[in-house]
Structure 1
Amino acid sequence: MNEMSTATSEDIANLDAIVSSLQAVEKTLQGVLAARDGLLAVANRLAMSIAEQGDGIEDSDLALRTVAAELATALRVSDRTVQRRMVAAEVMVERFPQVWHAQGAGLITAGHARVIVDAGAHIDDGDARAAYAARVLEFAQHESPSRVRVIAERIAQQYQSRTLDERHEDARAHRGVWVIDGPDAMSELHVYGPSVLIHGAQDRLTQMAKAIAERGEDEPTQADDPRTLAQRRFDLAMDLLLTGAPAGHDTADRLLGSISAHVAVTVPVTTLMGADGPAAELSGRAPMDLASAQALAGAASGRDRVLTHPVNGGVLCVDRYRPPESLRRRLRSRDERCRFPGCGMPARDSDLDHTRDAAFGGETSEDNLAALCRRHHVLKHQTPWHVVQHGDGLLEWTSPTGRTYVDRPPPPNTVTFIEPPF
């Protein structure tokens, strides 16, 4: 029996009121999001206006970074994220004003707007873009973004001045691989590239995964394999990525094939021994399971030992069974990631920067060094952003508008045996 058949007229009336209220809230929310895009677009124009007073594309990029950093630190988000949003907002507001107004009026959502703009991104003629947007908006007001995507791409083809091959060549320039960390010591590996290669790779993994299952019917050791098809695909992909040779790109002396994967792991020694305590971590990135941490520690040829204060957890010293570079290791253990507010780039992928320039008497010492990713290293030296250190790894950044932001080293992944006095 359908449970809804027992609903009273009062229940249905309440549901109807919820639906109506949710529609009103959603309409207001889309208007606010459109207003935010308008402000981001203005910020992007301001950055470009500032850049026009400089000397070329490098000044343009620095102006965008500077403005994005100002906004991002005020909003407590990544400046890379804000810069991407600024550019995307400028594209929609300037090139697709009908779409922006439709979202502001609550006729479509941000998801619809993104689909429409993405599909029409290569329509260069202004009149053609307007005609394309008008046709898609008529459909978008009554369908979900996923359905709109198919129609938008179909309509966009009728207004494109360039062939698919030409546009594909441009899109290939943006191919890449990136990681998104999730909960429960899990992460996502994203691969963006030509569809024929991505689908080909997926098909090969699927065929290999199915072959394992079929082989299991005749081989007792494989017959009780509990893994699903998706799990076997993942295991095969990791096996190929971590141990396979890059045959299509390797040199005659197999230089690329000799490169192995590296990760930096921090784990309290008591946790490593199996006692209750903080979880192991991929340094500055995400937690990891104990079994993997123990396996890596057992197989490692060398390890950094980080000694921490038993009360406040501060880094006291770092040594290694096979030295040197003790100061470099100490700072990377302290900082774990780039020290610009909101940035999560790991310290091992960042520069060690003199807060006070060595050329002006800055010491090469713990109190004058901090990890900065290349993006924020350049931002510090070539824009009005500046930073001072106040001891114990405390960095105070000042933005071009005079706002200050304090960045503290992340708490170390360690064990304390006495409760801190707070």
Structure 2
Amino acid sequence: MAGLADATIEQVEALRALTEMLVGVERTISGLQAARDGILALGSRLAVEVAAQAAHPDGADLSVRTVAAEFAAALRTSDRTVQRRMADAVWIVERFPRLWGAWGAGRITAGHARVIAEAGAHLEDEADRDAFSARMIAFAESEAPNRVAGMARRVAEEFHARPLGERHEDAREQRRVWVRDAPDGMAELGLLGPAALVHGVFDRLTMAETAQADDDPTDLRTVAESRADLALDLLLTGAPAGHDDCDGALAAIVPTVAVTIPIMTLLGRGTAPAELDGRTPVDPVTARRLAGAASGWDRILTHPVTGGVLAVDRYRPNAELRRHLRARDQRCRFPGCGYPPAQCDIDHHRDAALGGQTTASNLGRLCRRHHVLKHQSAWHVEARGGGLYAWTSPAGRVYIDRPPPSNTVTFAEEAADAPF
């Protein structure tokens, strides 16, 4: 076994001490970053107050620029950069004060604060933002920002006054394509569009790249390079067959992408949004269209109170266990990793060669990087039931990884003496 399996006790103790020091330093850095944003927000507030008392005709624009220039000159940086930072700081400090407080206390990092605030950007009610922040802070204390982002988008949906379907119709009017020049004769092409279509395009590029690599073993391009080449080939030579209908392109998506749809939404009797690969909400109309075009459905049975995955079945059972693991795990199960299940291996916790059973309790999804790490280093994992993983690091620290809650509807139990 490679990794740190041959480390001495003293070396393991040194690793443990370094880890503790790193955690402490990161908490201090998070607190200082939050304090910096507080100062930037105060600077912006000062500029607004000066402009208001003098009734400046431009509002506070010139005052904010002046304060940004003051800060920038002292920091030896661009005043435009400082002004953008001031705007971001005001957004967190004034609209999400609870979130800013948790960041300053070192409970979460700047990355956590950013993705949570972005997910709750459209919450207008102050009480809703506070309740949303409280729920997400508790979740973020034990998860990486990339995992928090998906959950934050899901939780934010619960606080929106308008259903996702209505908001999606408005948001579609913002779809666009843009170009940004880059150094060395390169440029970036950006695209904003409906999530189901954009993810479908990306998955199609990935599948095409995989097939091409299998056909030509001499192709030395990376996955990213191949995706870019394929995208440019398709855009420059493909026929625009789906542009005449705002939803016509949905028919081109082969349902290898997982869309989780609450049953009442599927039946058209609910407004709860569907979810695309555990990442982003999908409006109910698009979800029903995708479901209607699918050759088969996975039915995920969840507990009506806890929301935990109980079982996965299908009208025509096929690879039932794989579907169950995909529905339960939703991403790589190493702490902090967000790789989707389609890009992960199925791993036996206890090796099959050593008697490990091929059952849900002994299987989990791991991306190739962490699959190798598990087998070729001093990291160990223990399954504790219900999809709960306990990872032990070479330094002896234990990290608990829980499967993310499924996109479902739960019900609170009624009190025994509740009136009928």
Q: Under a length normalisation based on structure 1, what TM-score does the superposition of the two structures give?
A: 0.48
The structure with higher relative contact order (CA 8 Å, sep 6+) is: 2
Q: Which has the larger radius of gyration?
A: 1
Q: Under a length normalisation based on structure 2, what TM-score does the superposition of the two structures give?
A: 0.48
